[in-house]
Amino acid sequence: MTHVLISGASIAGPALAYWLRRYGTDVTVVERAPAPRAGGQGIDVRGAARTVVERMGVMEPIRAAHTGVHGMAYVDSRSRRMAEMSSEAFGDSGGVIADIEILRGDLMRIFIDAADGVEYLFDDTITALSETAGGIDVTFEHAAPRRFDLAVGADGIYSATRRIAFPAGSWRIVDSGIYRAVFTAATSLDLDGWELMYSMPAGNGTTAGRNAMLYPAHGGARGMFHFASGPIEYDRRDIEAQKRIVAGVFAGADWEVPRMLESMWRADDFYFDGAGTVRMDTWHHGRVALVGDACTAGSVGMGTSMAIVGAYILAGELARAGGDHRVAYPAYQDAMRDYVAANLKPLPGGTKGFLPATERGIRLRNTLMRWMMRLPGKSLMMGGIDKAVNAIDLPDYSTLPRTTVNTS
């Protein structure tokens, strides 16, 4: 029986583990975090990815964990709504907020719980991979060295698997110039199921505008900041230093920002990152393949869906090829190619549309949005997400031999 090592237990990793178990494969998942990380940002499951989660039989718990967000509004400093986009206005998958919006930690937990028999190694990471004729020898930071048949990097945009296993120069990360922070936030506002976005012009050293967002989640609120900047050097493990960067960029801002900054300092689930796109021609090298953000990061609101669809196809192709990675890996990438290309598009309106740099630009964007929401062709302003989310004919693997993956 094939034994696959997966690095990363967020969305792509546990989804892949589920499907591999379903085809009778042994699976070990190694995750750097000490335990499954709860919370996280609100993410959307769109188009073909909805079909995959239906095939996994987990639509019910996903619906039960819905964040409760049913629209997004641009607000002014007095929280008056300048433009509104309800999730229904664009169908189930085509808007800023999809019909299925769930916290990343909740979706991860649902995927982990969906499959029995997966071995999870938390608080560990791969340190070396060495391929031999019969398998792949892996050393870990903590666990004893082991041999697997195959290894898959589902460890996100800064994938360690990619760095270790792929030749230098075969991949690169293109910086978008947009930084974001997410955390549990306090607010005095009644969000009533709406995500609110307050835009501010450039300031405090940013290269374009800034915005602050609040959205409801499980009776509380999550806060998010975005800003545009030239490259910022920071230590990924130094959370306090990252909070200082954000506090500097938003110092002196009005609306709910001072309250959000206060809760940011207290938050133990703070996340800060620059958004980027992974560019690489080939997602596999020898016995190692990549899935999710490790190879497809860079979309607008489609990262989760591409991770789910990628996991489904990678596992299906491996099962179809009887575990022969030389057949399965190229078939997986071929099946994903057009879908990923359709979804790796820049933000509609570019950085300036998302983060207008002046008060005038913000007013203009809000007015435009208000008008477009009244037009029949309003989905055009979403840059065709509604079509891109379904730009794949999901292969049917239902005739492949299967095992029961959840006995509970």
Ligand X SMILES: Cc1cc2nc3c(=O)[nH]c(=O)nc-3n(C[C@H](O)[C@H](O)[C@H](O)COP(=O)(O)OP(=O)(O)OC[C@H]3O[C@@H](n4cnc5c(N)ncnc54)[C@H](O)[C@@H]3O)c2cc1C
Q: Which residues bind ligand X (CB under 6 A)?
A: 7-13, 30-33, 41, 43-44, 104, 125, 154-156, 160, 180, 182, 273, 292-293, 301-305, 307
The residue number whose beta carbon is nearest to ligand X equals 303
Is the Cβ–Cβ distance between 94 and 391 less than 8 Å? Answer: no
Terminal C-alpha separation, the chain: 23
Closest separation in Å from C-beta 290 to ligand X? 9
CB of 295: closest distance to ligand X in angstroms?
9
Sheet holding 146-148, edge to edge: 126-131, 136-140, 146-148
Q: Residue 281 forms beta bridges with which residues?
A: none
Q: Which is nearer to ligand X, 41 or 51 (CB)?
A: 41
- The least CB distance from residue 111 to ligand X, in Å, is 10
Nearer to ligand X, 224 or 405 (CB): 224
Which of the 8 DSSP states describes residue 292?
Answer: T
- Nearer to ligand X by Cβ, of 115 and 302: the residue is 302
Closer residue to ligand X, CB minimum distance, 37 or 363: 37
**270 in Cβ contact with 181 (< 8 Å):** yes
Could you tell me which of 151, 185, 168 has the C-alpha nearest to residue 265?
A: 185
Q: Which is nearer to ligand X, 39 or 301 (CB)?
A: 301
Shortest spacing between CB 97 and ligand X, in angstroms: 8
d(CA 220, CA 191): 9
Choice between 76 and 113, CB closer to ligand X: 113
- Are the C-beta atoms of residues 150 and 28 closer than 8 Å to each other? no
Tokens standing for residue 317: 């192709």
Cα gap 274→37, rounded to integer Å: 20
Could you write out the DSSP letters of every residue in 4-38?
EEEE--SSHHHHHHHHHHHTT-EEEEEESSSSPPP
**Is the separation of the CB atoms in 186 and 221 below 8 Å?**
yes
Write the CB contacts of 1 (distance below 8 Å, at least 6 apart in sequence).
24, 25, 26
Q: Minimum Å distance from CB 72 to ligand X?
A: 11
> Least distance (Å) from ligand X to the CB of residue 237?
12
Which residues sit opposite 222 in a β-bridge? 184, 215
Shortest distance in whole angstroms from residue 322 CB to ligand X: 26
Nearer to ligand X, 82 or 151 (CB): 151
Q: What is the helix (H) or strand (E) element at residue 274, kind and residue range?
A: strand 271-280
Which is closer to ligand X, CB of 304 or CB of 366? 304
Q: How far is the CB of 142 from ligand X (least distance, A)?
A: 11
Q: Distance between CA atoms of 4 and 23, rounded to whole angstroms? A: 12
